[in-house]
Structure formats: structure tokens, C-alpha cells
Chains A and B, each alone.
Chain A
Amino acid sequence: MAVPLTTPAKSRTPAARAGGNRRNERGAAALFMVPFFVLFALVTLAPIGYAAYMSLYREQSSGLGFGGTERLFVGLGNFTETLADERFLASFGHIALYCAVYIPVMIGAALGLALLVDSALTRAKRFFQIAYYLPHAVPGLIASLIWLYLYTPGLSPLTDTLATLGSDWNFFGKDEAFFSIVNVSAWQWIGYNMIIFYAGLQAIPRETLEAATVDGAGAWRTALQVKIPMIRSTVVLTLLFTIVGAIQLFDAPKLIQLRAAELGTDWSPTMYIFAQAFENRDYGQAAAASLLLAVVAGVLSYVVTKLGNRWKAA
């Protein structure tokens, strides 16, 4: 239908048409882009600018606390103070430890399960995929809440079982609470990443796998020397995404800390920012810490994207 209509239009001089089009296009482009960029400026750019401004000041109550507060210019004082704050540094230490435990467990389990579901031996592949992915449909806070109940003695099937086995494992204990956090994350993310790996495995050309079989490779060798290397880039990307997610960890530790007070309210960097702002009312330092975290997150994400592009090109 559109074909005959194009003919008369084409007879107009190309230059005039291009000029009109381009003006039209600019107007339309602006119309389509303005809503996003206005909101983007308001929600992302302006707060960063404002945080940069706030981070240079400190609120201080004047005199004996009667005269309200006054704003003092402290230059980079908030930054040096934050970087010297042991609790801020410790919060990054916690996340490093968390990554060291959680990432091998999560990636290992997701990869292992993906290979098993991909294996020719497995039946009911669809059921397992759905069962594994289901936790991801549960909002992070509610997942943490369910586990918090499951960690609570008296309510939980787990604590009862552990007690009858003679274990005195306390999910909210000083050392154990850390693993309670790791477990919530593992529960939420193993299935999700398993599905991503599985999709990668499904994309491996069948000829490649047949060739491996014909060459006499068994299931184990095919998995380790053919399948895993072929989805290597997906695995590494997942690893990096997980690290970027880990430095924003908030929901699970915040909730578990309700029962495991020893974790402290500044266990993770985001919790530190929250505590600085709403418990200590030190907005200047909270703003400085936010900017520092933004830099860390930005650099990490940049590395992720760069590596991602390199693999896509390869």
C-alpha cells in the first residue's frame, strides 16, 4: 500500500526533502528525548552535584545548641574524615569477605546446576528451571524477611533440626550472621544465574558437542573442556555484575542486623551511609561517602562494560 505513495514524493528535489526531514527529525528527536533527560538531570545529575556541594560543609550546632545549626565550610574535610573512618573501611572489608565466600559458592553452584540441567541425562528440565528461578520472583526484602523467620529459633524448621543434631549453630551469632547473609543472597541469585548460564550452554552449536563426543570425550571432559570454556565470557560478566551488586548490598544485612545486633548498623557501605545520615545526622559525611561509593561503583561498572564489549567484539 505504501509503495505507490513513495513515488511522487521521490520526485521532489532530494535536497529540499532532506532539509525538511532533518528539521522534522530534530524536533521529533527532542520531543522523544526531553522527558527522559529532564528526569535524568533531576534524579541523577542534580543529586550528584548537590552531594558534591553538601560534602564540603558540616552542620554544627552553634553555641550551647540553642541557636539552631550553622553550616561550616570544611573543604575536603568530610572526605578525609570518611576515608580515615575505620567503620567506613571496615564496611568495604565486610563486602570483600562477603565476595570471597559468596561468589565461589554462587558461581560454582549456578554453573554446576546449569551443566547438570543441560546434560542429556536430565529429565524435567523445565520444572527444575522454574523451581530454581522462582526465588528471584520474590522481592529482596521479602526474601530476607522469610529467611529471618527461618533463622529464628522456635519458629524455624532449621533451628529445630540443627538442635536435634546436636549443633548449637546460632544464625544470629557474631560469626554465623555473616553466613546467614550469604545464604540469603545465594538463595536469590543461584537460580537466576543458572538460567543465564543454561541459556549460554544451549547456544553452543550442537556440531561442536558432537565433534567432542566423536573424538571420544566423555560427559565430564565435554563439560570441563568444551562447554565451560565456550561460556567463559558469560561467567566472567556474571562475576563482575555480582561484584557491582555486592558493594550495594543493603536489604539482607539490614534485616538480619535486627536480630544480630553485633553486625552493627554500618556493616555494608550503603548501611554506613544510611547510618551516617539518619542516626548520626551527619549529612556532609554521608554525602561524601555516597560520592566515594559512586566512584567505586562507577569504576567497577566501567570495567564490566569494557570487558563485556571486548568479548562481544571477539
Chain B
Amino acid sequence: MSTHTTPRAARTPQAAEIPAARKRAYAPARGQRARRPRQFTSKAAVHAVLVVFALYTLMPLTWLVIASTKNYRDLFATNPFALGDLNLVANLQALFAYNDGIYARWLGNTVLYTVVGSLLSTLISVACGYAFDKYRFRGKEKLFGLILVGILVPATVTTLPLYLLFSEVGLTNTYWAVLVPSLVNPFGVYLARVFSEGYVPGEVLEAARMDGAGELRTFRSVSLPMLAPGFMTIFLFSFTASWNNFYGALMMLSDEQLYPVNLGLYAWMKNVYQQPELYPLVIIGALVAVVPLILAFLGLQRFWRSGLTAGAVK
């Protein structure tokens, strides 16, 4: 936070001791004093820009919260940012009552597709990346090249071919159709190899082997705990990918009992012209889906950050 000011402050006592340094350190400080009124205005300008952009990012979410408290009539009749009668509870009841509580089912499906899917996917990726790092075998780098090719081909372009293949074997419109593709995360394997190089020293493995631990046990009780931060980062990557997966679900699923929340809300959105009572349901449904994600994001910031930089240096 104060990284910019610290060096200046730290230099002052030094300057008192060394006359030559003093002169140098003093010059910018005097300039600073002369510029103070200007600095005040630029400070205000900087904050004005930052606040305006914060309004831009926060406005839609604020609107979502306020709109969630309104019933159908108020939604159209009142000022969008004014609170009308509080109908949040009634809206929630309507949301979970609609169509025999299909929304709760969508939430459950979403948890299955995102949390369970990402946990499995991360475990598979970490095991594979770990093996790439720690074991020697012939053709290793060629095999790793295949992983890199996998990273180059985004999942979106293989979704339709996968749909065609799955429909040939009758797998479309099942939980597997959405879950199985989300298990494959070549970038996760790549990251896991990098993390394994960084977090798990070879000597530790040697020691575990000498202690008589088998390879599987070594992985589970020695390497996996050491890889925990990397595991979390890869998990968050695949979690983001699966909760953002609308294209795949839209293609694969036609039975609304299998929908994740985003596909369900899309289906409702498509019908709001015919059924205007769905307007408030889409809003409250979006809020209920977003709140846990935002809480999770706030709670796991540290991991987001490391994941971001890991992605950036890819």
C-alpha cells in the first residue's frame, strides 16, 4: 500500500548522516512541497476516475440486489434504484415453489457439475502433472506435447463434435454429457507439473520411498499436501470454467431436470414474453446463484491472486 512512500521516509535518517545524500534526497522533497496544491487536485482527480469505474462495476450487482426485493408490478413501476415494498422473501418463496421447485434441482445440478466436477478434474490433473514432473519414462516429452496441443484447442470447438459423438452412443441429455467433458483440463496438467517442480523436492520423495512408502501412498500423504496451494489454484481454474460453461450445457441437455442454473435461467428468459411472471424469478434466481460465488470469491482471494498470475505467466 505505502510502498511508494516508504523509501522516501526511510531515506530521511540516512540523509541526516551523509551530507551528499542529503542534498539529493532533499531536492525532490522540496519539489513535493511546492506542488502540494497541485497534488491535492490530482489526488482528487485520480480518485474520481477510480470511483466512477467502481460505480460501473458495482451498479449492475446493486441493481440486481434491489430488483430482487421487488414484485412484478414494482419492477416496472418504481424507480430502479429505489426500494419499493420489500418482497425479497416472497420472491424467494416464489422462486423455489415455481414448477415444483425446479430451481432447487438446478442448484443441486450446478453443485454437481461445478464442485464435484472440479474436484475430480483437479485430482486427475494434479496426479498427471505430478507424474510428468517426478517420473522418468520414454516418450515423456512427446506425451507432454499432446497436453500442450490440448491447451491450444479450446473446449468450445470440440463441443459440437463431442455432442455428435455422444448422440451416437446415446450419452447426450445425461449428467455424464456435462460432467465428463469438464473433467479434462490440460492446462491444469501443465500447471500441476509446474507446481510439482516448485513445491515437491525430489529428496522428500526419495526419503518417503526409503521409508518404504509405496508410490500411491507417497503421493497421497506426502506430495498432495505439499501441492495444496497448487491444487487450490487449479481447482479454482476448473471451477470458473465449469460455472461459465453455458455453451456445452445448452448443446448437451434438453431435459430441464438436468439443467444447471445458468441454462435454467436462460430457458426462463426465453419465455418471459409469454410468461411475464418469470421476470422477477429470473432476477431473484440470478441473485441466488451469484451470492455464493461472490462470497466464495471474497473468502478465497489469496488463491485467486496466485491463479491469476500463474495464468498470466503461462
Show the binding face of A for B, using Cβ within 8 Å. 2-3, 5-6, 9, 21-22, 24-29, 31-33, 35-37, 39-40, 42-44, 46-48, 50-51, 54, 109, 112-113, 116-117, 119-123, 125-128, 130-135, 137-143, 145-150, 154-157, 160, 187, 190-192, 195-196, 199-200, 202, 206, 209-210, 213-214, 219, 234, 237-238, 244, 248, 250-251, 255, 258, 270, 273-274, 277-278, 283, 286-287, 290-291, 293-294, 297-298, 301-302, 305, 308, 312
B46 near A122: Cβ-Cβ < 8 Å: yes
Docked CA distance A196–B306 (Å):
10
The reply to whether A142 and B265 contact each other, CB–CB distance below 8 Å, is yes
Stretch at the interface among B59-67, B90-98, B100-108: B59-67
Nearest A-chain residue to B128, judged by Cβ: A36
B88 within 8 Å of A by Cβ?
A: no
User: What are 29 A-B residue pairs whose CB atoms fall within 8 Å in the complex?
Assistant: A24-B215, A28-B215, A32-B128, A32-B219, A33-B143, A35-B127, A36-B184, A39-B184, A40-B150, A40-B184, A48-B161, A119-B46, A121-B39, A121-B43, A133-B297, A135-B57, A137-B296, A139-B262, A139-B290, A149-B67, A155-B67, A255-B266, A258-B270, A283-B164, A286-B160, A287-B164, A293-B156, A305-B151, A305-B314
Rounded to whole angstroms, the CA-CA distance of A199 and B132 in the bound complex is 29
Residue of A nearest to B270 (CB): A258
Query: Is there an interface contact between A251 and B246, defined as CB atoms closer than 8 Å?
Result: yes
User: Is B277 engaged at the interface, CB distance under 8 Å to the other chain?
Assistant: no
Instruction: Note all chain A residues with C-beta closer than 8 A to B146.
Output: 40
Known contacts: A25-B136, A121-B39, A157-B63. The answer to whether A196 contacts B309 by CB under 8 A is: yes
B270 close to A51 (CB less than 8 A): no
Contact with A along B119-156 (1 / 0, CB 8 A): 00000110110111001110000010010111111101
Q: Which of A28, A39, A146, A234 contacts B124 (CB 8 A)?
A: A39
Contacts A251-B247, A308-B314; A297 near B50 (Cβ below 8 A): no
CB of B206 within 8 Å of the partner chain: yes
Q: Which residues of A contact B221 (CB under 8 A)?
A: none
Secondary structure at chain A's binding surface: helix, strand, loop or mixed?
helix
Total count of chain B residues near the partner, CB < 8 A: 105
State which of B127, B165, B211, B311 has its C-beta within 8 Å of the C-beta of A36: B127
| Cross-interface CB contact of A294 among B76, B153, B312, cutoff 8 Å | B153
Whether A47 and B57, one on each chain, are in contact in the complex, defined by CB atoms closer than 8 angstroms, is no
Instruction: Establish whether residues A156 and B158, one from each chain, have CB atoms under 8 Å apart when the complex forms.
Output: no
Q: Type the 1/0 row for B181-218, where 1 means its CB is closer than 8 Å to any CB of A.
A: 10110100100000000000000001111110001100
Residues of the B chain whose Cβ atoms lie less than 8 Å from the Cβ of A202? 3
Known contacts A32-B130, A125-B1, A312-B313; is A145 also within 8 Å of B43 by CB? no
Q: In the complex where A40-B184, A123-B47 touch, is A146 in contact with B63 (Cβ < 8 A)?
A: yes
Which chain A residues lie closer than 8 Å to B136 at the CB level?
A: 22, 25
B162 and A187 contacting across the interface, CB-CB below 8 Å: no
Task: Tell me the B14-73 residues at the A interface (CB within 8 Å).
Answer: 24, 28, 39, 42-43, 46-47, 49-50, 53-54, 56-58, 60-61, 63-64, 67
- With a 10 A CB-CB cut-off, give which of B60, B181, B210, B243 has the most chain A CB atoms: B60
Using known A-B contacts A25-B137, A301-B151, determine if residue A5 contacts B164 with beta carbons closer than 8 Å: no
The reply to whether the CB of B7 lies closer than 8 angstroms to some CB of chain A is yes
Instruction: Give A146's nearest chain B residue, CB to CB.
Output: B60
Determine if B180 is an interface residue (Cβ-Cβ < 8 Å). Answer: yes
A301 contacts across to B, CB distance below 8 A: 151-154
Contact for B125 among A36, A137, A210, CB less than 8 A: A36
Most buried by A among B148, B164, B211: B164
Q: Are A270 and B247 in contact (CB under 8 A)?
A: yes
**How far does the alpha carbon of A208 sit from the alpha carbon of B60 in the complex, in Å?**
40
CB nearest to B182 among chain A residues: A43
B305 at interface by CB-CB < 8 Å = yes
- Let me know if A26 and B265 touch, CB within 8 A: no
**Which chain B residue lies CB-closest to A36?**
B128
Contacts A43-B184, A305-B314 given; 7 further ones with Cβ under 8 A? A33-B128, A36-B124, A109-B53, A113-B53, A250-B156, A294-B157, A298-B152
Query: Least Cβ distance of A237 to chain B in Å?
Result: 7
Residues of A within 8 A of B63 (CB): 146, 149-150, 157
